[in-house]
Structure 1
């Protein structure tokens, strides 16, 4: 049924000269002011102009090659990005030249919404059109937000982070974060009526319950990037930390449940900005890790492939939100832009 596997990711700059062209790729047509791009560019330059995400994709591919081989899954592995080298269209051209006719794609976002699912489907359509005749058919794997291989690494990371804080359960709180999106995008729903925020709320509950800490928790947002006049999901994590401190909270574990790896929006927004906010407020602060190449996460990717290859393979999931193999046309469509 499939003759290749494709890792499809966001992409990131790999040197100082890449930063502004990359950011313009990401924000093209979105009306983001140039001064905002310059501000975000400084975040990348703090790390030498290199985003961690591409190396994290290389590490995941290496782990998947071993995982596939160990389980007799004989598929060549390819990697393409939305916004930087290796661009998806270039990867599909290579796949065509290698004789690939149909591939299964794992996207490094667990969730539904326009930017985390539908836009990747549009990227595939556009890349196939660029390649032209002989471009391989690409089928995207299902959402995996509540798969044990995604939830369990987050659970263990929260437990480990809690272990670094002073023991003060009466004044400690869990704070789960995910990428903010415009409110209009957050309202769009998948075929079963669920939304981006529904899936994230389910992950927050699963991780909080799994931690066994019995602590109160909140789901908040980070990494807003749009024009200031457009409403986005709130509260921002920094604003929320200030409210918690005012309410007498003394320690927080921040867990980026919206992310599969420690890419730049995690290491800058949480390890720098949010950590600085917590220090200023006098909060004990610990940031929980993301799955990365945790063996359970790597095994999950292989499981998602095998369940697609064989309908008899049970689908492992911990939550109650339905999942499906193919998104309907128009699912999580890009909402209309507000009139200016």
Structure 2
């Protein structure tokens, strides 16, 4: 059965392009040494009352890699790649970088760019999909950072739209999955194979309020039946990822027709009594038919191979596959793929126009987008409404 989703209000919530002074690359942040691990985890869990003893118990994946998360270096690499693309296009837009949970913090980046004379800032967030943690939390933390830096009224911060179905994000994922299936075929695993698109699990309560309220999927799956029962629910967060996963598989059907796929979740945390999006990738691997001999895992929900990718997929999911004798190929995230980097600057040029110039056309590859430039005040609400940037 196929259900028709209601009209998407997000595509109508756009703003007029203007001229910006600079770009702020907004990241999550991560520790860069053993002494950083517990302070970093305190930042991430602030307000939840979690003692250091418990934080130490969950720090093992950072400890395993010397206390260093790869995410900061990945953002340095992305910043350099963005600067190269900007220079190639002749744009006068310096790039600054700030994080939510580790140095360089948002407040430090805002002080730096303000001291350099910039006042209108376009923010690039390193998440592609709509959710509290992937969009609104960044906007809340940016508003708080403005206050901490004493720069309220001094800086104007606008945010580039979520880019889950922009060609710059989709096409590298298409080519990665295609390459993963080719690798399985080269290993003699081209018969019964499966593709899993992995994303971060979030509480179902947060998933259900992801995206704009005027137009909701209301937990109704696009398709129901058989394997696609896993796709039900999840608000716009899951709906966006279902749409992109289906698009990726459609793009590779010329070479790999009929390969089944599923959306799975990873990295859940917190109180086990609280429902989160399922299935967990390890449970999903164990539930695969015995006839499946090869598995491609695509970290669709992430933009770089950071700790949750290399630990949860390259270690835990790999171990689950090994236990059942299943060949697994984990394909890369978009990272600093030239198409992704170019696509991010395309998104910038939707919003930024040099004097006398024109804005780039807004592009989307699914019926869900282009996504909104600004968010309604009740979009992706957390536990309590807080001041944000880029809202209306």
Q: Is the 8 A contact 1:33 1:227 kept in 2?
A: no
Residues 35, 219 of structure 1: CA spacing in aligned structure 2 closer, same or farther, 3 A cutoff?
Answer: farther
Q: Deviations over 1:60-115 (max 9, x none)?
A: 11111110010011111100000000000111111111111110000000111111
> Aligned partners of 1:101, 1:290: CA distance in 2, in Å?
33
Q: Deviations over 1:293-323 (max 9, x none)?
A: 0000000111011111246421121011131
Equivalent residue for 1:264, pick from 301, 307, 310: 307
Q: What residue number does 1:235 align with?
A: 279
Q: What residue number does 1:13 align with?
A: 31
Q: What residue number does 1:116 align with?
A: 134
Q: Is the 8 A contact 1:173 1:253 kept in 2?
A: yes
Q: What residue number does 2:170 align with?
A: 151
Question: Given the alignment of the two structures, is residue 316 of structure 1 paired with residue 363 of structure 2, yes or no?
Answer: yes
Q: Is the 8 A contact 1:67 1:298 kept in 2?
A: yes
More deviation, 260-269/168-177: 168-177
Q: Deviations over 1:22-64 (max 9, x none)?
A: 1111122245575653233110111111001000000011111
Question: Given the alignment of the two structures, is residue 54 of structure 1 paired with residue 40 of structure 2, yes or no?
Answer: no
More deviation, 202-211/261-270: 202-211
How many correspondences in the alignment? 335
In structure 2, the gaps of 5 or more residues are 1-18, 218-235, 385-392
Equivalent residue for 1:281, pick from 304, 310, 324: 324
**Normalising to structure 1: TM-score of the pair?**
0.94
Q: What's the secondary structure of 2:113's corresponding residue?
A: helix
Following superposition of structure 1 onto structure 2, how do residues 81-160 of structure 1 map, counting pairs within 5 Å? 81-133=99-151, 135-160=154-179
**Normalising to structure 2: TM-score of the pair?**
0.82
Structure number with the bigger relative contact order (C-alpha 8 A, sep ≥ 6) is: 2
Q: Is the 8 A contact 1:110 1:144 kept in 2?
A: yes
Equivalent residue for 1:72, pick from 81, 90, 96: 90
Q: What residue number does 1:209 align with?
A: 250
Q: What residue number does 1:175 align with?
A: 196
Residues 135, 13 of structure 1: CA spacing in aligned structure 2 closer, same or farther, 3 A cutoff?
Answer: farther
Please give the root-mean-square deviation of Cα atoms over the aligned residues, in Å. Answer: 1.6
In structure 1, the gaps of 5 or more residues are none
Question: Given the alignment of the two structures, is residue 253 of structure 1 paired with residue 279 of structure 2, yes or no?
Answer: no
Runs of 4+ in 1 over 6 A off after TM superposition: none
Q: Is the 8 A contact 2:204 2:275 kept in 1?
A: yes
